[in-house]
Structure 1
């Protein structure tokens, strides 16, 4: 028997699947580069390789999909912030080896970074303004929506101030700060999904275990990554950043697969009731 769905339900399903697909797209693009061009110091270093367009495009798609799923829950507010951080990761590249000098963002790409970062900041601020107006018109302007908008604006304005006051420090650290913050937010969202009860979910205990495992493993991965970098593991030939980012990316995909399964019928509960 064919199960009926609505266009809204299908749209939400496809957006969730798009996040999984974009993550796979990024993994495959970076994987091809590693196999064909040699080891990378990190997944983020793919920005400077032929896989660069895949890296930027995949993260942009993930950011847009996260924003498309925007809602009024705490989890969704955190994912809206994560979407902005995904854009930071995409358009402000990581530092790489600059010969005898300390790692840096090469001069050859700095104009591109300035152009792209300026465009992203402008569009995000415009998007916040539009989102607030729409929420007001639709009667969905809550304190949570305002708080999320305020955090996003603070991130953008803080980034602009940082880049203006200390451009070298911004280029050297903004990508890493954005990446760590992004995965911390995903861990928090997974943790909330594990411990917040949702009535009517099938096999809820297994889902809670899956969410809790993802949250704990992301945190553990980030801690081990930081410890490895501080301990100088990379200088001893251990690709700690590449491995850490790869594991975190895989856990991000696992989280979305689990949540897509759980929320497959989320936007049209009436259909589920009609089939019972």
Structure 2
């Protein structure tokens, strides 16, 4: 049975996500005032905002993995986004006139992949000790995480320069796409038809979540059409992160009305 302390901890993790996004926004804004606009949020890695950028994305990844979704499907999406976010921080986006520090990128990436492997083994041991077999979504999460890890290790060992040049973009895609899935999986339709749960979602804000999904799609379409604009990528990232923050804010409000019904909060995350 979920205790009051577990409920409080769960809400604090959600609040921490908002605090981390706020820290990133403040740091980027301050650096923009001081040094001018960059072409993307990722480009602030090379500025005075770099340490906050790295720290915030790494901590956001930890929070996403630590959170337990209402369904196994949501949990898989949270974990995939969570394990991808730190790689976005550790591998900077290529910028014209700035040579990547390949030895540092390789060191950071391999260190992270090694820790991820240890965590994966711990999850496997926990799954083996649980009664019954993992759900199809749980198995899918384990397989996808293992595949992503294998691709990362093989890539960085086989071609360090290619990894340093392209891993950032790939990790960013696999951070934002699963997060969009998280929003959909908080709707009643997502719970019933994607997660294949018999019970409806406990949300009181179904329409608001669908509005956020529509907003994400609109941001991507608008800035894809304006791809020739120098700041199109920055606009895309700012728009998606703003919607990301809005979603977590709404979830904090939504949770107040039905958190006790989310029975999986204290369980081991299903990769």
Greater relative CO, 1 or 2 (CA 8 Å, sep 6+): 2
Kindly tell me the number of residue pairs found equivalent between the two proteins: 250
> Is the deviation greater in 153-162 or in 136-145?
136-145
Deviation at 1:10, TM superposition (A): 0.5
Aligned counterparts, 1:11-90, within 5 A: 11-71=9-69, 73-90=72-89
Structure 2 alignment gaps of length 5 or more = 192-198, 263-271
Distance 1:266 1:156 in 2: 35
1:70·1:77 contact (CA, 8 Å) conserved in 2? no
Distance 1:130 1:265 in 2: 33
Residues 262 and 150 of structure 1, relative CA distance in 2, 3 Å threshold: same
Deviation at 1:268, TM superposition (A): 3.1
Q: What's the counterpart of residue 161 of structure 1?
A: 154
1:191·1:215 contact (CA, 8 Å) conserved in 2? yes
Deviation at 1:256, TM superposition (A): 1.0
Structure 1 alignment gaps of length 5 or more = 99-104, 271-276
What is the RMSD of the two structures over their aligned residues, measured on CA atoms?
A: 2.2
Distance 1:156 1:68 in 2: 18
2:183·2:213 contact (CA, 8 Å) conserved in 1? yes
Deviation at 1:252, TM superposition (A): 0.7
> Which structure has the greater CA radius of gyration?
1
Residues 141 and 17 of structure 1, relative CA distance in 2, 3 Å threshold: farther
Distance 1:174 1:150 in 2: 20
Q: Deviations over 1:118-173 (max 9, x none)?
A: 11111111111101212322437513333212211111211222233343332222
Distance 1:268 1:191 in 2: 21
Residues 264 and 76 of structure 1, relative CA distance in 2, 3 Å threshold: farther
Residues 265 and 64 of structure 1, relative CA distance in 2, 3 Å threshold: farther
Distance 1:126 1:29 in 2: 32
Deviation at 1:179, TM superposition (A): 1.3
* SS of equivalent residue, structure 1 residue 96: coil
* SS of equivalent residue, structure 2 residue 186: helix
